[in-house]
Chain A
Amino acid sequence: MRLDVRKTYKLFIGGAFPRSESGRSYELLDAKGNFLANPALASRKDLRDAVVAARNASEKWATASAFNRSQILYRVAEVMEGRREQFAAEIMAQEGLTKAQSLKQVDEAIDLWVWYAGWCDKISTIYGSTNPVSGSFYNFTTPEPLGVVAVFISENKSLTDVVHGIAPVLAGGNVVIAIAAEDYPLSAITLAEVIATSDVPAGTVNILTGKSAELAPWVASHMDIDGVDGSGLDAANYEALKREGADNLKRIQRFKSVENPQRVLSFMEHKTVWHPIGI
């Protein structure tokens, strides 16, 4: 007979897996109402630490070549593939789906990740432009990363929505602080374990679990967060986020859970460069 080796689901900040600074956790029930796990209940100070880690990682990720970023993201998909069973088991427990449905969602999530990975080196080709100007200048407009983006993961599909939240923001060269859906934190943390072992630099992705309504005001007022994906917030919290986030002109958006390059583009800034012809 063996003793159970049970997993502690912790946060993912700066490439490490700390417990919440507050020492708090919350009880997570599965779809049938039975005890499933005690994930960490992140506090505002965990958010603060995540922002510091993200900001420190931001330059390296933003200045990596687009091709390099897409290769690293593809590597994440490769490592996800090896964890199919674990992802499926967590989806089954959290959402109450059958094994077959869960595996289908895992495949969908991995394919979606690859789809976003492909956008890294295509986004500026497709959405950038060469502009005609009346003068002897070349004039280019290219989308550039915004910086630190906080993402409230939506709550429809436990794994697919995590991919929808994180992958496009990364593809645009931004660093991410993802706040997992309260009922589906396990998929997010397991994805964190995948990310931690796939050449993604530490701090590029940070994942917090807990109550998004508790963290939303701190995300909104934090002056060092440049953009917020509020997909996982309810209408009232999203409105409050937009209001309080105006102080440092955060870019605040929310999305439906469908494949869309706008998710990449939304957290990029169009920059225009003039260059004299003939030099």
Chain B
Amino acid sequence: MLLTDGSESSIKSFLKTLSPVDQVGAEARAAMLATRSIKTSSKLWAIDTAISMIDLTTLEGADTPGKVKALCTKAVRPDPTDNSVPHVGAVCVYNDMVKIAREHLDNNGGKEIPVAAVSTAFPSGRASLDVKKQDTEDAIANGATEIDMVIDRGAFLSGNLGKVFTEIVCIKEICGDRAHLKVILETGELVTYDNVRRASFLAMAAGADFIKTSTGKVSPAATAPVVLVMLEAVRDYFQMTGQRIGVKPAGGIRTTKDAIKQLVLVNETAGPEWLDPNLFRIGASALLNDLLMQRMKMKNGQYSGRNYVTLD
């Protein structure tokens, strides 16, 4: 391990070297970047890029196999009337739906679309490590190639950083090279930007392939300043280690405007290398319909309506 040996004291002393976040500055910069106007061909490119970065998500207690299958069909061909629309980045479901999603994707021309599973007692993370390990093992055995794990926010907030670190390391070991690990920080519960920055570095040092803002179950979720702080963290981590870690904002990104603002943030903060589905994903469900409606408007010149896209 490059930055820490995993002991509580080494983690704490490493995180102490991080400079605090300038809250006013971060919010002002995020707001300034949100005013960029992206039009015509750039907008069309941004829409297609955003579609290819979506982790099309359904995480409801009421999910059924039918709903998951419908979601997978949509992931492969987001707009059935236009085959120039790219497929989405991944399908994100609960553990028990992984197998259904994987099979349906394989049988419907979506072999290259990965299935992401939310594991480790999502969304609260309140379970023993053994249960979390088993949860992860299950998901991978069923065909998940991306694991979205939650950190133990209670432990993080009470200063028990070694526990958070160890959990991530354990889950990463299980993932190995079978699955990508996305670590959900649940920034809405971390209270301060300083905590977001610390949690980001903690997760990256522990072996995360992606850091993800939120579960989508807590508000506020992926606000622009939080995403900015996380993008700065991956940029700094790249400068320290030469390793590129991905970022996934999730929750509250519902409109094309929101998505394009995220892309601007990525480009201006981490850099254009991150404008790639391997390094940037957007966790969303309703967003896809808005992107498709905007795309129709750009292609046909007439405003579309929600009757012309599939229901979620």
Q: Which residues on A are within 8 Å of B, measured CB to CB?
A: 48, 51, 55, 218, 221-224, 247
Contact = CB atoms under 8 A, between A and B. Distances in A.
Interface residues of B, number: 8
A108 B263 CA distance: 55
Nearest to A244: B302
A221 B308 CA distance: 14
B301 A224 contact: no
A247 B303 CA distance: 12
A221 B306 contact: no
B301 A223 contact: no
Contacts of A55: 305-306
B35 to A, nearest CB: 14
B128 interface: no
B296 to A, nearest CB: 8
A222 B303 contact: yes
Contacts of B166: none
B305 A221 contact: no
Q: Which applies to chain A's interface (DSSP): helix, strand, loop or mixed? A: helix
B260 to A, nearest CB: 16
Nearest to B308: A223
17 contacts: A48-B303, A51-B303, A51-B305, A55-B305, A55-B306, A218-B303, A221-B301, A221-B302, A221-B303, A222-B303, A223-B304, A223-B307, A223-B308, A224-B304, A224-B305, A224-B307, A247-B302
Contacts of A218: 303
Nearest to A47: B303
A22 B137 CA distance: 55
B302 A222 contact: yes
Nearest to B301: A221
Contacts of B305: 51, 55, 222-224
Contacts, number: 24
Given A51-B303, A223-B304, 17 more contacts: A48-B303, A55-B305, A55-B306, A218-B303, A221-B301, A221-B302, A221-B303, A222-B303, A222-B305, A223-B302, A223-B305, A223-B307, A223-B308, A224-B304, A224-B305, A224-B306, A247-B302
Interface of B: 301-308
Contacts of A221: 301-303
A55 B290 CA distance: 14
A224 B304 CA distance: 6
Contacts of B306: 55, 224
A52 B302 CA distance: 14
A222 B307 CA distance: 12
Contacts of A247: 302
Which among A51, A218, A223, A247 has the greatest number of chain B C-beta atoms within 10 A? A223
A247 B305 CA distance: 13
A55 B304 CA distance: 12
Contacts of A48: 303
A51 B306 CA distance: 11
B169 to A, nearest CB: 46
A262 B308 CA distance: 30
A223 B306 CA distance: 9
A77 to B, nearest CB: 32
A62 to B, nearest CB: 15
Top 10 nearest A-B pairs (CB, nearest first) are A224-B305, A221-B302, A222-B303, A223-B305, A223-B304, A48-B303, A223-B308, A223-B302, A223-B303, A222-B302
A51 B303 CA distance: 10
Nearest to A247: B302
Nearest to B302: A221
Contacts of A51: 303, 305
Nearest to A217: B302
A157 B302 CA distance: 33
A19 B260 CA distance: 24
A247 B302 CA distance: 10
A233 B170 CA distance: 70
Contacts of A224: 303-307
Contacts of A222: 302-303, 305
B299 to A, nearest CB: 13
Contacts of A223: 302-305, 307-308
Contacts of B304: 223-224
A223 B302 CA distance: 7
A31 B304 CA distance: 40
B151 to A, nearest CB: 36
A222 B302 CA distance: 6
A218 B300 CA distance: 12
Nearest to A218: B303
A247 B308 CA distance: 13
Nearest to B303: A222
Contacts of B307: 223-224
Contacts of B302: 221-223, 247
A55 B303 CA distance: 13
Which among B302, B306, B308 has the greatest number of chain A C-beta atoms within 10 A? B302
